[in-house]
Amino acid sequence: MVKSSRRTFVRQAAMISAVCCAGKLAVFASCGTARPAAATFTEDDQGLYVPLAAVEGKSTLTVRSRRFDEPLLLTRNSSGDWVAIRLHCPHKGCTVVQREDKLVCPCHGSQFSATGELLKGPARQSLTTFPVSATDKQLVIRF
Ligand code: FES
């Protein structure tokens, strides 16, 4: 009787562990596929600091800030200056993605220019942008 209940306990514990591990793996797997790859850089109350080496030779770079759930897109405007775009759709808050030369909301189809200006609704406003200044070593995104 004691052996049987101990054996039952061990089986149940093993099954619970297997279910828990499977759940954790699923979370990791979904995190890996649901969120776009983005680098994390130094951040403080003043802004987010991106080393120039990280953007060298690139026209865009996706970065993450602790301030937002969705990433920021660093890109250059028509004057060649860096600008940071929050990839948060102003319609209902979905994460906007890069598609060819546009930024597109996968939820309801709003479209934005490569620098965040509204091209097509249902969103009624452009994406939020933040100024970016450059030093000799880094870009600084000011919030
Ligand atoms: S949430 Fe982006 S278009 Fe609706």
CA 90 to ligand 1 centroid distance, Å: 7
Q: Whose CA is nearest to atom 1 of ligand 1?
A: 92
pLDDT number for residue 38: 54
pLDDT number for residue 93: 96
For ligand 1, residues with CB inside 6 Å are 89, 91-94, 105, 107-110, 122-123
**Residue among 118, 92, 93, 81 at smallest CA distance from 103:** 118
pLDDT number for residue 112: 98
**8 A C-beta contact, residue 142 and residue 130:** yes
Contacts of 39 (CB under 8 A, 6+ apart): 54, 61, 62, 63, 64
**d(Cα 93, Cα 114) in Å, to the nearest integer?**
18
Task: Give the residue ranges of the chain where pLDDT is below 50.
Answer: 1-2, 8-37
**d(Cα 9, Cα 3) in Å, to the nearest integer?**
10
CA 92 to ligand 1 centroid distance, Å: 5
Strand partners, 120: 111
Query: Does the pTM exceed 0.85?
Result: no
CA dist list (Å): 105 to 91, 93, 100, 128: 9, 9, 13, 14
Question: What is the amino acid identity at position 111?
Answer: Q
Which residue of 70, 108, 125 sits with most ligand 1 atoms within 8 Å of its CB, as the best mutation to test the pocket? 108
Cα 64–Cα 128–Cα 74 angle in degrees, nearest 5: 45
Strand partners, 139: 50, 134
pLDDT number for residue 80: 87
pLDDT number for residue 108: 98
